[in-house]
Amino acid sequence: MTPEQCRRHLLRANEVARRAATLGRHPFGALLVAPDGETVLAEQGNIDTVHHAEATLARTASLNYSREYLWNCTLVTTFEPCAMCTGTLYWANIGHLVYGAAESTLLQLTGAAEDNPTLSLPCRTVIASGQKAIRVEGPFPDLEPDLVAPHIGFWQR
């Protein structure tokens, strides 16, 4: 995907995150983008503390698409995926990851929020521990204000 496609999809994933927040869920959103870099195959908001947007999307994708096809797809997510979500992406065989804001930025937003005890384990570290050459792009600092906006005040409730 081009940088412009990444940015466009990140903003769409952020709309998914905003919808999740209106449902009282954590404001995270993810998309599965087809190999053409344009077609959005699925979108997913966060469900709860265990059913994150990225992991739920990757699991659903693995049931609906072949491993070969998924290797050429991209998972786009508003924030750097946690270790659980990165591992799920790895096992689902999704070959490309694009994230908007870093986990360290999320920690600044959530602080000690019981609902989101962040792990200080970068997704690149998780992927480097495996045997697949998953491509990772992110963060996108120019989009951070947009991606952070749904989180402002959310974690202090």
Catalytic positions: 54
Report the C-alpha gap between 45 and 52 in whole angstroms.
8
Q: What tokens appear for 18 in the block?
A: 């905003």
- Count Cβ neighbours within 10 Å for each residue of 101-127 and write b for 16 or more, e otherwise: bbbebbbebbeeeeebebeeebbeebb
Angle between helices 3-22 and 53-64 (to 10 degrees): 110
Going 120 to 28 to 105 to 142, the CA torsion angle's sign is positive
Measured in residues, the chain has a length of: 157
Rounded Cα gap, residues 54 and 64, in angstroms:
15
